[in-house]
């Protein structure tokens, strides 16, 4: 079993426990009190290159990324230095994230937020809405075609944006087949953790003309960003390379300096 498969096994157990503690019907009653949030895709297109700046403590591949870690300070720095949106990790076991971090960031910034999670159950989608998310990540590699389509429609029905993440040509085709209009191309293979920007360049050629493309992982320099923009990518998702800097905000501004 690879790391992605193990995460999904653990996530299904975790979600079942959360559903017992906070049943879906209770969660749905909370949605009416959630203020309207800014549009995710509009925010990405409002900049020369949309930056989804990530807030996370650690990852299975990188270990501890930032210590000490203050999600509020990090998010405010991102917002002040050109980020279009904030991605916040919801998984605690492998990434050190969770609802507390998401709430802290949501209360600190006005930017749209991505509920970055291994979504395996509709409960998580409704939870994202109640948390004040503007977008929800769906990872093609962990979902069946039926789940992918069903979850995408559920996200849209709650007036949120599905960000459909792919890693290879087969997954890209599956995303296209369900009508995804915002696709994240993860340059890191979640099964092997090998990272290369060539993944984005290869899969970009398959993308529908009107699809918003987000390149994720392995983006470290202003030159990387300029190259992706020249290839027609509308946005990038970056975390680790920013979080390892003394000032993540200054690092974000520098990353966007050539676009």
Measure the CA–CA gap between 132 and 208, rounded to whole angstroms: 29
> Whole-angstrom Cα distance, residue 252 to residue 222?
10
Question: What are the residues whose beta carbons fall under 8 Å from the beta carbon of 36, sequence distance 6 or more?
Answer: none
Helix ranges, the chain (H) = 3-21, 24-30, 40-45, 71-80, 99-108, 122-131, 145-157, 169-177, 198-204, 222-230, 240-243, 248-255
Interatomic CA distance for residues 112 and 83, integer angstroms: 10
Positions annotated as catalytic residues are 54, 56, 116, 165, 186, 216-217
* CA gap 83, 113 in Å, rounded: 11
Q: Which residue has the tokens 């009508």?
A: 179
């Amino acid at each position: 079993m690879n790391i992605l498969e193990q995460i999904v096994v653990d996530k299904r157990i975790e979600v079942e426990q959360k559903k017992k503690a906070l049943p879906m019907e209770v969660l749905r009653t909370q949605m009416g009190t959630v203020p309207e949030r800014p549009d995710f895709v509009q925010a990405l297109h409002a900049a020369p290159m949309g930056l989804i700046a990530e807030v996370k403590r650690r990852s299975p591949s990188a270990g501890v990324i930032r210590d000490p870690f203050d999600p509020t300070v990090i998010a405010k720095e991102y917002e002040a230095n050109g980020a279009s949106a904030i991605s916040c990790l919801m998984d605690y076991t492998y990434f050190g994230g969770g609802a507390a971090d998401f709430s802290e960031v949501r209360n600190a910034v006005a930017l749209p937020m991505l509920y970055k999670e291994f979504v395996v159950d509709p409960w998580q989608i409704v939870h994202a809405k109640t948390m004040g998310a503007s977008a929800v990540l769906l990872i093609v590699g962990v979902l069946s075609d039926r789940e992918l389509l069903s979850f995408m429609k559920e996200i849209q029905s709650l007036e949120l944006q599905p960000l459909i993440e792919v890693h290879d040509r087969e997954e890209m085709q599956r995303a296209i087949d369900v009508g995804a209009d915002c696709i994240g191309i993860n340059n890191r293979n979640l099964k092997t953790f090998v990272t290369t920007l060539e993944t984005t360049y290869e899969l970009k050629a398959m993308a529908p003309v009107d699809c918003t493309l987000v390149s994720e992982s392995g983006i470290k320099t202003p030159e990387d960003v300029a190259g992706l923009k020249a290839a027609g990518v509308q946005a990038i998702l970056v975390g680790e390379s920013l979080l390892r800097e003394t000032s993540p905000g200054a690092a974000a501004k520098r990353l966007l300096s050539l676009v």
